[in-house]
Structure formats: structure tokens, C-alpha cells
Chains A and B, each alone.
Chain A
Amino acid sequence: MYNKSYIITKSDLFDLFARLAQMNRVFVPYRYNDNLQFIEFDPSKESAIELGGIRQSQPFKSFLNPARKMVSGKEKNDSGRASCTGQAIVAGVKACDLSSLILQDHVFLKGDCEDPFYAFHRHNTLIISCDCTYAKETCFCLAMEGRPYPTKDFDLNLSLQDNLFVVEVGSVKGMAIVNNYKTFFKDCKMGDLSGRDSMRENVSLQVKNFIEKRGTPEAAAINGNMKKSYDNLPFWQDVSSTCVECGACNLICPTCHCFLLFDERSQQRIGRGKVWDACLYKTFAKVAGGHNPRKHLYERMRNRFDKKFAFFPEVLDYFACTGCGRCIEACPGDIDIREVLKGIVTGKWNKPPHD
């Protein structure tokens, strides 16, 4: 349907962003030392924009399900309807974030009712994804059945080739951008696609090497082993021995979706909000009277993996890990999800040495 590809130059793309930013909020990745960050597009800082590289530090889910969001309390007499405004265009989203959308959509759009706040942002966010142009040692998307380049769930995709981008259209909304700003887009030639494909192969090979070097198990090898490892208490106690319960691995994970409803009161009004929650926090499952089904840290650690590698495979036939590697970098206790996955398969815990 949209199998036609286009070419856009870097300067035309930034001009396009500037045009789009007149009507929408446009977010693009900026480089800060080793990290990429989504920040609102600023034409005066074009040189730091990087539409390639690897995934950003913050997960893309924060655009669809913000870390903290009021769900009522604008007026004292709330009509019972959620009112939302604003359109966003997010550029530079990587495949490991896109592959979390199936899960986030399942949680927030399916079931007895949808989350109107997520639904609004999901329908009003245009996704301009891009290929990874290199891999990091922590990348393992291929082991989780992902690819270092987007194949679906984008409106437009950009593949960097020197100072050009190959543009792939993935939706009606993406097609509309091409049609509305025709002068920026040129037809794609065969040679441009072969350059793109060889880069994709090259980055895939880098990821593959990292996976092999580390011995990270593939999804197929993990399948079913989470349940078997459930009663291996010494293993889970070892895994959690350096955990400081900060919850960073939960919050930074593109698939983690848990949140807490909270109520607050000021002089003028009362309000209710949603805030991201983390299953490693001690109070996560606590019930009235102080009873806690997961009072030990190892039980909470095990629960995190059980949710990702047993619950979601069972209810959605989907591993709730995209191999983005953010949790590996975020953990102050050096708990490496790849080592935990190895342990789930082998039953042994090899704490990785400090690099």
C-alpha cells in the first residue's frame, strides 16, 4: 500500500520539522555525550540532532503514558469526561521502542474499557521512526525477536545515508505528511535502498555479535523456563542481592506499564492522578492491614521477570522485553537482564564482573 520510498535531505528534513513545529509539538533526539534524549525541536540547535544512532535514554512510552498525569481535578465539578489537547510528532523513535507498542496498546486500549489518556496520545502522536546506525554492547533486540530497524508501527521511517534519509511510509498519516510537503520529498532510486539494506545488515551483525559474545539466550530458548525457575529461590536471592529497590529498571523499561492512582487536595480543588509505579517497590502488592504477598525483595525481583517472561507470553504470546538494554545501564546494582535470562535457562547465576 505504501511501498513507495522517498528521499529527503537532512536540511530539507529540518525545514520540514520547522514547518511542522508551527502547528504541532515536535520532539527530536539530541545527543548529550553518549546518550540521546528526546527534546522539543529547536532550529537553532540543529547540529546536535541525531536521527540515527541507537535508542534514546528515555523510553518512548513517556509520550503516550507520561510518568505523572492528572486524570481529574481541572474543575471541581468534573463532567466525568477526560479532556485532552495537543498533538505531538516524535522523530527518531527506534525499533525497540516500537515493538513495545503491541503490549502498551494491549494494556491501555483493550479490555473492558480503554484508558482515555493513553488513547488520546496514541491517536494524536505521529511517529517518525529511524533505523539504528550502530549497536551498543547492551543491545540485544535480535534475541527478543526484534530488529535494529523498524518494520511496522510507524507513520514514517527514516534510514540515514550520509546527508540523506530514505523515507518509508507506514500509515495514512505518514502519507499525508509526504503529500502535504511534496517539495521536500524526492523519489527513491534503487541504489538508495541497497545502501539502506547493507547498513541494516551491518548493524544487525553488530547486535548478533554482542549477543553471541555474552551468550544471551534467544526468546525461543527462554520460553517456558521462567515457570521452571520460579522455585529456584537461591537463584532469585542471588539475582536480587545487589538490588537497591530504586525501580529504575521498571520505570525506564519500554514495556513496563504499571501505575498508581493517587489523590491530592489543595484549597481550591481535589485531584486524582496516575503515576508510574514499580513492582520492585516494597508496597507494590501490599494490601490492607499490612499483609504483603511479596514482602521479600527476591519475590519482587522474581515477579518482575515472571510478568515479562511468563505472564505476557501466556496472555499475549509476547515477551515483555524488547532488548533495548536500558535497564542494564540504569541499574546501580549491576543487575544485567541478559545474565538473569541466562540463569533462567541454566539455573545458575553468574554475576558479571565490573567492567
Chain B
Amino acid sequence: MTNYKNPYLFIEAQIVNVTTETSNIKTFTLKPREAIPFRAGQFMDVSVPGAGEAPFTPSSNHNISEKLDFTIMNVGRVTGLLHRMEKSDTVGLRGPYGTAYPIDEWKNKEVFIVGGGVGLAPLRALLYALFNNVGDYKKIILKYGARTSRDIVYIDEIETWKRRAANVDVGITVDVGDESWKGNVGLVTTVLKDSHVDINNAVSIVCGPPIMMKFVTFKLLDMGFKDSHIYLSMEKNMSCGIGKCGHCRVGPYYACKDGPVFTYDKLKSLPNIWD
């Protein structure tokens, strides 16, 4: 009889809060049995015990490892089950996996963040990580696009981000306007140039649906960003989280261990990265 550490097991976590963000997006605050240290950008597998698991990036501040937020859109089987769960229900957590945003390398730089839809979830964790040492960064700019005003996540929190510090600049746009929306209307790609960014001293971080990431990346390249300064979140079918099950391969990489965030220089020569 030999004992080995089993990487496929989850830690039980209790749902301590559920916030409804939009008609199909909720933020779950989970309190795991033991604290789970993670860094912004890493992901975890959230399970509905006995039913299945799916990968999500925590959306909360990585300085807090006792309680983690996960912002989840109801789009499939596991997320559908999660959306039916309530406060005090138990889920499972496995991870963290993958690489973190290299925020220490970005000190004294301008951090230009572009998010789309529920893609703001990992970027929220990134923003809080940057806010922990907000003075270390020359500028922190967020450009966020949602389909309509009703699809904006963290709507109240975003107001507090705008006031966080003088070097923080937040802009929101919606694809389709309506009477209640007084802000900007248009795809997020149309507002990128509004900001004064010192391209030579900036990095850009993008997370959103594949089609949005594709056109934002092209726009950023147009603006003069270097390939190696564009950080993209690759959504792949990450199952085991430890580079063994084979599902999330992207060229010579596994998204679960070499990503899920990649700089564009690593991806650009690979075929079909936006599919």
C-alpha cells in the first residue's frame, strides 16, 4: 500500500455569497476548507460534486486566499448547475493552475486593460492585484465593452474603480445603446485610441470572447504595441489542469500549464488561434 498525492481531488468550499451581475452572470464567493493562495491570472476548477467541473479564473483580489470570487456565466451544463446553487451550498475547488500575470514586470509602465463581456472576471482579479500597489504603475487604464447596458458586470464596483487613484482611467462602452444608457456606444475596438497611452512604455492585457480578442489584438498592433507586450487569455478546454489530459493544446503549449495567458508573440505563428 503506497500513498501518493492525488491531483484530481478537489477541496470542498462553501458558497458564502451570490451576487447576480446580469440575467445570466453571477458572482459566487467561495470559502474553501483551507486557504488557497493564488496569483491573478491563474485559474481553478470549480466542481459541482458528483456532477462535473469547469475551469474559471478567480475574479477577486489575490491578497485574500480564504475567500475567492468566481464570476460565472450560465452557458452550459456545469455552469447551469452552479447557477442553481445557493448560499451555504458546497462546491469543490481544484488548483490554482497555470501562470499568473507578471505584474511585477509591469512596474513603472502603463497597463492598458481591454475586457469584453464576462471576460472582465479575470481582469477584475488583475485590477485588484494592481490596486494593491497602485502607485507602482504609471497608469492603469481599463476599456470595457459589453453587449448592452444590462450586460455590464460589476456595474457598481466599476464606479469605485474610477475613483481609486489619479492614475486609474476607466472607460465603458456598449455595443447597442438604449434610453437608459448615457455612456459611449460602439464596439470596444472603437474606443481604444481614445486613451493617451505611451505605447513604448505600455503593456496591454486582453480578455473577452475570441472574436473580440482577435480584433482588439489587431487594433493594438495597429496602435504600435509590440507582440510581446500583448497578453491574451486563451479559452481552451482545460480539463486536468496539469498538462496531462491533452485537451487544451495550442501548438506546442498546453493552455492549462503554459497559459492560460499568453503573449501574442508566442501565438502569432500558430494556426487557427482565434478559433
Query: Complex formed: what's the CA distance from A279 to B247 in Å?
Result: 8
Q: Does A244 contact B (CB under 8 A)?
A: no
Quick check: which of A15-23, A75-83, A160-168, A171-179 contacts chain B, the rest being far away?
A75-83
Residue of B nearest to A123 (CB): B2
Q: Is the interface of B mostly helix, strand, loop or mixed?
A: loop
Residue of B nearest to A250 (CB): B246
A116:B247 contact, CB within 8 angstroms: no
Partner of B75, one of A115, A230, A279, A289: A289
Q: Does A184 contact B (CB under 8 A)?
A: no
Partner of B6, one of A71, A108, A315: A71
Partner of A259, one of B50, B236, B246: B246
Q: Does A285 contact B (CB under 8 A)?
A: yes
Residue of A nearest to B45 (CB): A261
Write out, one digit per residue, whether chain B residues 5-27 have a CB within 8 A of any chain A CB (1) or not (0): 11111000000000000000000
Q: Does B166 contact A (CB under 8 A)?
A: no
Residues of chain B in range 207-240 having any CB-CB distance to chain A below 8 Å: 210, 235-237, 239-240
CB distance from A257 to the nearest CB of B (A): 6
Q: Does B257 contact A (CB under 8 A)?
A: yes
Quick check: which of A4-12, A140-148, A195-203, A262-270 contacts chain B, the rest being far away?
A262-270
CB distance from A114 to the nearest CB of B (A): 8
Q: Does B54 contact A (CB under 8 A)?
A: yes
A111:B50 contact, CB within 8 angstroms: no
Q: Does A221 contact B (CB under 8 A)?
A: no
Write out, one digit per residue, whether chain A residues 76-119 have a CB within 8 A of any chain B CB (1) or not (0): 00101111110000000000000000000001100111111001
Q: Does B42 contact A (CB under 8 A)?
A: no
CB distance from B238 to the nearest CB of A (A): 9
A261:B239 contact, CB within 8 angstroms: yes
Residue of A nearest to B235 (CB): A287
A120:B2 contact, CB within 8 angstroms: yes
Chain A residues in 8 Å Cβ range of B246 = 257-259, 277, 279, 307
Chain A CB within 10 A, most for which of B244, B245, B249, B251: B244
Q: Does B242 contact A (CB under 8 A)?
A: yes
B275:A116 contact, CB within 8 angstroms: no
Residue of B nearest to A270 (CB): B50
B54:A288 contact, CB within 8 angstroms: yes
Partner of A260, one of B3, B9, B239, B248: B239
A263:B47 contact, CB within 8 angstroms: yes
Q: Does A231 contact B (CB under 8 A)?
A: yes
CB distance from A79 to the nearest CB of B (A): 8
Residue of B nearest to A227 (CB): B271
A81 with B6, Cβ < 8 A, contacts A112-B257, A263-B49, A286-B237 known: yes
Residue of A nearest to B47 (CB): A263
A263:B53 contact, CB within 8 angstroms: yes
Chain A residues in 8 Å Cβ range of B249 = 303, 307, 311
A81 with B4, Cβ < 8 A, contacts A230-B271, A285-B236, A293-B272 known: yes
Residue of B nearest to A65 (CB): B244
Chain B residues in 8 Å Cβ range of A262 = 52
A116 with B79, Cβ < 8 A, contacts A258-B246, A277-B246 known: no
Query: Complex formed: what's the CA distance from A288 to B243 in Å?
Result: 19
**Residues of A near any B CB (own CB < 8 A):** 71-72, 78, 80-85, 107-108, 111-116, 119-120, 230-231, 257-265, 270-272, 274, 277, 279, 284-291, 293-294, 299, 303, 307, 311, 314-315
- 6 tightest A-B CB contacts, nearest first: A116-B4, A265-B50, A258-B246, A270-B50, A82-B6, A289-B75
Q: Can you pick out 11 interface pairs between chain A and chain B where the beta carbons lie within 8 Å of each other?
A: A71-B9, A112-B243, A113-B7, A260-B247, A263-B48, A265-B50, A270-B50, A279-B246, A288-B54, A289-B76, A307-B246
**Residues of B near any A CB (own CB < 8 A):** 1-9, 47-54, 73, 75-76, 79, 210, 235-237, 239-240, 242-249, 251-252, 257, 271-272, 275
